[in-house]
Structure 1
Amino acid sequence: MKVESSLDLRYNIAAMYIAILREDIATPEQAFAILEEKGIKTAYTDEDVEDMTKLYEQGLCYEEIGRIYGLSKYTIRRRIERYRKKDLTDGNLKRSTRKIYR
């Protein structure tokens, strides 16, 4: 069992304050990136896009998902479409019954 030091707690609290106070921060990872002076995360993994796709299939609109990830609704739509096409060609993803509106 790992015990957090007071420095770890301060680091986590600082990230929380950044996430609360900055409007351009949408995820904890982005707040920690600011603390580590790496800048806001702009590259998203396939896992992130898979999560975006799941959120969309659960009924969230592109704009709502965009607010979560700090991206425009157009970017979200494009990433989901590319992800689905890639997985459909690989045979890993079944077609969603929900239509994508352009």
Structure 2
Amino acid sequence: MAEPEPFDAEKVANLTLLQLRRVDERLTTLMEIVVRQDERLARVERDMGEIRRDIGEIRSEMVLMENRMLNQSQRVLNEVIRMQDHGVENHPAR
């Protein structure tokens, strides 16, 4: 019968250390990936904030433009009413 190999503590320690180093390398790689993804996510969040701000500015500009249009339309209407009150007809000039 074959005799079992004697217990070699140094060999077991070396193998255990090798396994721990492999796990540590994998963990380091995963941490690098997580850090890169976190940076990407931060950029996306920053860009989303800028987009929200831009949309708010566009809405404000649209409201201002609408107010200007309404004011100009009101001026035109007031002028038409004033002209009708003074007897000017709606015929185009010839």
TM range (shorter): under 0.3
TM-score (norm 2): 0.24
Higher relative contact order by CA 8 Å / sep ≥ 6: 1 or 2?
A: 1
Which protein shows a greater Rg? 2
Pick the structure with more helix per residue.
Answer: 2
